[in-house]
Amino acid sequence: MIDFSTKKGFICDMDGVIYHGNQVLPGVVEFINWLNREGMQYLFLTNNSGHTPRELQQKLARMGLDVSEDHFYTSALATASFLKEQAPGCSVYAIGEAGLFNALYDAGITMNDVNPDYVVMGEGKSYSLDTLTKATNLVLKGAKLIGANSDISGPIENGIAPACRALVAPIELATGKQAYFCGKPNPLMMRTGLRILGCHSAEAVMVGDRMDTDIISGMECGMNTVLVLSGVSTRETVDTFSYRPTMILDGVGKIVEEAEKQKKA
């Protein structure tokens, strides 16, 4: 059980928690209204590297949700921050979408398809046998392999789509090199999220639909965790893991119901 009256902030995943594809999930409007009404700090922390915070803000706006741009942090931003810290001014060969490229450019990182310091992989439609072959040979020549996140798949409206970890795997197999992943459950991303919130881990709740990224990252950072069953996880899949979330709920709307119940008790 989580005592929501003691909490000051929420870190929430997006895919499978807030929406599926372009479909907002039940209870989300009530949840965001409750966060605003209670004066909670909140951050949408997504492993999807394809979108910029502004694009995510506009995506929610199209679904009727009014959330400002400063409430979003992505694995693309975490990746750019990591590279800027590790090797300021480095160059990369990147496969991904606008969210990843914008984050890298903003961090002062340049594109280089000849002798880059890093090969950086995110999700994206530019992924092909040609780009995969290019990336493989650059890694064999000495470029270090970085993945924006370690998600194997992600929920879409009609099923699942392969995600970053699955897209990086062929390069790892072909080169014998292991990628370093910057998104959840990497604690660097979680600590950044807490810093943005201005919350201590004991004052924050992690909400997600995946045991292997969302729940473990919250748990290992000392946060209470809520697994919602609106994405990829089911009550049956929870039993296949050696750890458990603090609470299991059908969706984020149930958080509001639990908090209101506690208030009345």
At 159, the pLDDT band (50, 70, 90 cuts) reads confident
Rounded to the nearest integer, the mean pLDDT of the chain is 94
At 253, the pLDDT band (50, 70, 90 cuts) reads very high
Let me know: does 207 contact 17? Beta carbons within 8 Å: yes
At 235, the pLDDT band (50, 70, 90 cuts) reads very high
If we measure between CA atoms, which residue out of 41, 7, 29, 15 comes closest to residue 246?
A: 7
% of residues, the chain, pLDDT over 70:
99
* pLDDT for 240: 96
Residues labelled as active-site residues: 13, 15
How many beta carbons lie within 10 A of that of residue 160, not counting itself?
13
Report angle CA 24, 186, 217 to the nearest 5 degrees.
60
Query: With a threshold of 0.75, does the pTM exceed it?
Result: yes
* pLDDT for 79: 98
Strand-pair category, 159-162 with 144-147: unpaired
Domains and CATH numbers, the chain: 4-47+184-264 (3.40.50.1000), 76-181 (3.40.50.1000)
At 21, the pLDDT band (50, 70, 90 cuts) reads confident
Question: Cis peptide before 187, with omega less than 30 degrees from 0?
Answer: no
How many beta carbons lie within 10 A of that of residue 239, not counting itself?
8
